[in-house]
Amino acid sequence: MYKLPRTLFALTAFALIGASASAASVRDDICTKGVFNAGVKYDSPPFGFVDENGDVGGFDVDLIKEIGKDLSAVCKKPIKVVLKQVTSSNRIEFVQNGTIDIAAATATATFGRMDTVDFSNTYFIDGQRLLVPAGSPIKTVRDLAGKRVGTAQGSTSEVNLKAAAPKANVISLQQYTDAFTALQQGRVDAVSTDSTILLGLKASAPDPTKFAIVGPFFSNEPYGMIMKQNDSKWRNFVNETLTRTADDGTYRKIFAKWFGPKTKYALPDPKRSEAIPPQFPVRR
Ligand code: GLU
């Protein structure tokens, strides 16, 4: 019988063991560990932020808690939800290296990112705008030539800005809260990212009337939660939770809690739908 050379044998065995180990779904790992590690933002109110009491909360955080509830049901034991801070620049890496099981972190599902990770169904849709001091001469992206614009490293916002305002001086910081501090201190002339994050930053200022969100949307940002590639058992589970929250009214409740007309972060567009964006497949 043909004998495999020893090193080749060892390599083959290693590859097989490796393959079977990675075949286990994150969903099963969570059940085994009893812990669900979720990456959320601390700098993106009202999706993920630290409130006055030092608690981490937000729209993304509440959706994570719903996934946690469904995990406890499917694992048939209480699953502890552990929130871990992520930024725009490390959220993909943290999912890939297993630091977190998922990131619900204002992340736009892009085909580029899908080269290395998978996304859940779309759970929120936004677009990019500008946050400026009230009365600023900056009204649209066309006015950004020669101006300093703050945004976050690793975001689609910095990519969109460079394309839409090639003559702007784009300053990418670690966190959106850093960019907003820079605006408050006059170190940048504008901050640019998804409009709802801008709304959250503005609302968090001691005097929000000192700032204005201006210009039309200049990008399309469909949010999805980030998961490891090729783990359909886990991805489908997360999508089922999103569909469940849409069906049982939880999504609308969470939406109203953070963006409703009487909230601090009330969305300015009164015609904006409170429903989760339409999904495929549907629940029957
Ligand atoms: N949604 C955009 C992105 O995924 C901007 C917000 C963010 O940096 O999280 O990059």
194-232 pLDDT, tens digit per residue, is 999 999 999 999 999 999 999 999 999 999 999 999 999
Burial label for 258, CB within 10 Å (0-12, 13-18, 19+), is: buried
- pLDDT at position 9: 47
- pLDDT at position 14: 46
Mapped onto helix, strand or coil, the DSSP state of residue 174 is coil
Distance 88 CA to ligand 1 centre (A): 6
Phi, psi of 80 (to 5 degrees): -85, 125
Distance of CA 175 to the CA centre of its chain: 13
Minimum-distance ligand 1 atom for the alpha carbon of 155:
10
Read off the tokens for 183: 């605006």
Read off the tokens for 53: 């009491």
Domain membership of residue 37 as a residue range: 24-125+222-273
Mapped onto helix, strand or coil, the DSSP state of residue 86 is strand
- pLDDT at position 261: 86
Question: 9 lies in a domain?
Answer: no
Average pLDDT, whole number, for the chain? 91
Question: 284 lies in a domain?
Answer: no
Q: Is 160 in the pocket of ligand 1 (CB under 6 A)?
A: no
Q: What is the C-alpha separation between 70 and 81, in angstroms, rounded?
A: 11
One domain for residues 169 and 180: yes
Q: Is 106 in the pocket of ligand 1 (CB under 6 A)?
A: yes
Minimum-distance ligand 1 atom for the alpha carbon of 126:
1
One domain for residues 116 and 134: no
Minimum-distance ligand 1 atom for the alpha carbon of 157:
5
Q: Is 196 in the pocket of ligand 1 (CB under 6 A)?
A: no
Q: What percent of the chain has pLDDT over 90?
A: 83
CA distances, 192 to each of 24, 41, 75, 182 (Å): 40, 17, 41, 12
**DSSP bridge pairs for 40:** 85, 104
Distance 107 CA to ligand 1 centre (A): 5
CATH of the domain at 56: 3.40.190.10
The total number of structural domains that make up the chain: 2
